[in-house]
């Protein structure tokens, strides 16, 4: 092939790669809410993930089932750890809203895998940076909570 044909092929490939990277960045910078009802209550979108299920699966809890949060001490009721979950939201200036959306996302995840509470709660943040040749870099900061979902051995046990 001639140099001109090769140059045209290289330009087409570079253009396709550039478009792919741009569209990938657009999708990442605008996460799709996991639950439209939850997202409609807030200006913040949320991404919920079940990272791992331990052992047998359990039926989901009702949407109004209370989920307890254990930060230092565990529950007084005997329990088993049934999974690991993570919820992530883009950071906004309204810290109260961000934490409320994270909490609601964590509760939704725990209910979805049959949990009664969450423990071993961890918080972390990350910034995704996008930019290219000649394009200024821009970033979106995300805040995430990850936790272990707990299920009480005795369903009648309450604290």
Alpha-carbon gap, residue 138 to 127, rounded angstroms: 10
Single out the residue of 7, 44, 26, 10 nearest to residue 143, CA to CA.
44
pLDDT score recorded for residue 2: 61
In tens digits, the chain (159 residues) has pLDDT values of: 565 544 444 444 544 444 444 333 433 333 334 444 444 444 457 788 899 999 889 999 999 999 999 988 889 999 999 999 999 998 888 888 888 999 999 999 999 999 999 999 998 888 876 666 665 556 778 889 999 999 999 988 877
C-beta neighbour count of 90 within 10 angstroms? 18
Alpha-carbon gap, residue 29 to 141, rounded angstroms: 10
pLDDT score recorded for residue 44: 56
Alpha-carbon gap, residue 66 to 111, rounded angstroms: 9
pLDDT score recorded for residue 102: 92
pLDDT score recorded for residue 37: 41
Global pTM reads 0.66
């Amino acid at each position: 092939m001639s140099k001109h044909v090769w140059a045209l092929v290289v330009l087409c490939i570079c253009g396709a790669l550039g478009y792919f990277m741009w569209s990938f960045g657009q999708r990442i910078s605008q996460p799709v809410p996991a639950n439209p009802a939850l997202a409609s209550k807030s200006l913040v979108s949320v991404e919920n993930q079940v990272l791992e299920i331990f052992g047998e699966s359990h039926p989901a809890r009702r949407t109004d089932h209370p989920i307890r949060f254990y930060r230092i001490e565990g529950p007084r009721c005997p329990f088993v750890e049934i999974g690991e979950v993570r919820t992530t939201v883009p950071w906004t200036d309204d810290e109260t809203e961000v934490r409320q959306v994270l909490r609601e996302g964590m509760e939704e995840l725990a209910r979805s895998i049959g949990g009664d509470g969450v423990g071993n709660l961890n918080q972390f943040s990350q910034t995704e940076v996008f930019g290219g040749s000649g394009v200024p870099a821009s970033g979106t900061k995300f805040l995430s909570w990850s936790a272990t979902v707990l299920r009480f051995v005795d369903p009648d046990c309450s604290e």
